[in-house]
Chain A
Amino acid sequence: GQQVMQIPQYQHVQEGEDFTTYCNSSTTLSNIQWYKQRPGGHPVFLIQLVKSGEVKKQKRLTFQFGEAKKNSSLHITATQTTDVGTYFCAGVGGNKLVFGAGTILRVKS
């Protein structure tokens, strides 16, 4: 079945440094969603990408969808302590939403 892989599994950065997480799917996706889960919390929707090569920005967050619609990335510029949490991509292929294992971000102040 469809698999969604995320790397890295874990990243610990100094406050102010940049952070990137990458998501790869074994199959072509119709769209991809990104969620953030704070420690002890539940996933919260960040964004959805639909078009091949799409780039969307939310303040310090930049999301990209690959040309082949099989990969995506999330880049955070100048991390802050409020960015701490686990970032999940979730691929939509067929009728299912398949989550990656997530990238845990820790920020040292």
Chain B
Amino acid sequence: GAGVSQSPRYKVAKRGQDVALRCDPISGHVSLFWYQQALGQGPEFLTYFQNEAQLDKSGLPSDRFFAERPEGSVSTLKIQRTQQEDSAVYLCASSLLGQGTYEQYFGPGTRLTVT
């Protein structure tokens, strides 16, 4: 594909609702990352997949956050019982190999607003 795509681009959820954010990485990219970016801040690491294996989920802020990549391609970040502090832009990135070894290609992000 042309690049990393994410959907939806914007999501408004009422507090307590569950949301699912989708990421389509660049075809052939082994590694996939999720980040959370608050306004005026840099992206903060959430979790990392190598193919279908979730190798690092240390950045997930609570057990309400769950990510999967069942076939080693598309990934979904799910947030259960959303809270206002979950409002942020959620960025997905993919890279050819390795967490920090190669450049990461970012998607446009999903802006989540919890009301």
Contacts and interface: CB of A to CB of B under 8 A. Distances in A.
Do A and B truly interact?
yes
Best-surrounded residue of A30, A42, A95, A102 (most CB of chain B within 10 A): A42
B7 interface: no
Contacts of B93: 43
A4 B48 CA distance: 19
Contact of A99 (B40, B43, B48, B109): B43
Interface of B: 33, 35, 40-45, 48, 55-56, 58, 91, 93, 99-101, 103-109
B45 A96 contact: yes
Given A31-B100, A92-B100, A99 B107 contact: no
Contacts of A88: 42-43
Contacts of A43: 43, 91, 93, 104, 106
Interface residues of A, number: 20
A99 B42 contact: yes
Interface string A19-42: 000000000001101000000011
Contacts of A90: 42
A97 B91 contact: no
Interface of A: 30-31, 33, 41-45, 48, 88, 90, 92, 95-102
Secondary structure of the A contact surface, majority rule: strand
Given A43-B104, A48-B103, A96-B56, 15 more contacts: A42-B107, A43-B43, A44-B106, A88-B43, A96-B45, A96-B58, A96-B99, A96-B100, A97-B99, A98-B45, A99-B35, A99-B43, A99-B44, A101-B41, A102-B41
A95 to B, nearest CB: 5
A30 B42 CA distance: 20
